[in-house]
């Protein structure tokens, strides 16, 4: 049987949207290739192991800390809308990461693009 870890990692690796995973100390523990490219001007892959808080303004840091505290208050507190990027027509969210018992173990940044797909359906020939 294939290792489930590899399956989950492959989902993240193939996603076209940037995905940045952080632990509860706010350390960046994973960036998918889209995130490495998206944050290239800030260091890209060199951001791994760094504090996410160091990459934000004081106002943003406070909102991140406030959101993580909100995640901790209730196992149902799992998604917060944080930003609208009008230029790229996308919404950005903070999402709680939880273990099998529902305990908070980290969080990630989720990008959802609202622009219509330009790729042809099933263009595989």
Domain assignment of residue 109, given as a range: 16-113
Whether this model's pTM surpasses 0.95: no
Q: Looking at the 3D structure of the chain, how many domains does it have?
A: 1
Residue 116 has pLDDT above 60, yes or no: yes
In a domain, 94, yes or no: yes
Give per-residue pLDDT as tens, 31-70: 999 999 999 999 999 999 999 999 899 999 999 999 999 9
The band of 2, judged by pLDDT with boundaries at 50, 70 and 90, is low
Rounded CA separation 88/34 (Å): 14
Residue pair 106/12 in contact by the 8 Å Cβ criterion = no
Write the CATH number for 42. Answer: 3.30.450.20
Determine the longest span between alpha carbons in the chain, in angstroms: 51
In a domain, 20, yes or no: yes
In a domain, 118, yes or no: no
């Amino acid at each position: 049987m294939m290792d489930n870890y590899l399956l989950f990692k492959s989902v993240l690796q193939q996603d076209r949207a940037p995905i940045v995973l952080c632990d509860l100390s706010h350390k960046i523990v994973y960036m998918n290739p889209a995130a490495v490219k998206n944050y290239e001007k800030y260091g890209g892959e060199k951001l791994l192991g760094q504090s996410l808080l160091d990459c934000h303004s004081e106002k943003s840091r406070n909102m991140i800390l406030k959101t993580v505290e909100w995640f901790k208050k209730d196992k149902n507190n799992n998604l917060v809308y944080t930003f609208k990027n009008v230029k790229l027509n996308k919404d950005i969210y903070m999402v709680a990461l939880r273990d099998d018992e529902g305990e908070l173990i980290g969080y990630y940044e989720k990008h959802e693009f609202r622009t219509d797909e330009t790729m042809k359906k099933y263009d595989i020939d």
